[in-house]
Structure 1
Amino acid sequence: MPASLDQADTALQILDDWSYGDTTVADEGIARLLAATLHDGPGTALERFAATGELDAEAALRELGDASVPPEREGWVDALGRYIITKGGRS
């Protein structure tokens, strides 16, 4: 069942808040949601992290470095990068 528009707006607001440093929500869950949004497809480090929680920090950071996103989503890339650097693959 698709999410309602209210739920989608709420999810976007949580992601935006988290990317601006409000980490009062579950960090790994939000990081995995960001990875799911940003990955380039099956078999990538970001896709694997999104799906399983297994994080190859070095590969994921390389993929983020190559990510192409609209300007309003650059904060998401930065936030996920901060998460990966901070956690260092210990998810």
Structure 2
Amino acid sequence: MEHPTSRPRKITTTIFVVFTLGMNPPIIFWMDLPTIVFGTDLLYLWTVCWGVLISIVLIWAAWNDALALTEDQVPPELRGTEGVVTQSRRDETATEGQR
């Protein structure tokens, strides 16, 4: 396993570890109490809060390239744009068809 070297990668890895611990037993069992918070079950609020947090972290990690994806980790069919129909190419094709 490769150890994180950059600061964003360390932050992302740490949050992933904390997320994994927070969403597995025994902690998830502690949240499964018959307690109502703001009119909602505590376990539901716990999972929704963690889901929102991890979604934000994933977006932030992708924005900062915290996972440091390299060219060899991208599938060959996605590396180049040759033969790939993108939205801009669809628009170009549509405007050429209208002429």
Q: TM-score, normalised by structure 1?
A: 0.28
Which entry has the higher C-alpha Rg, 1 or 2?
2
Between Structure 1 and Structure 2, the one with more helix by share is 1
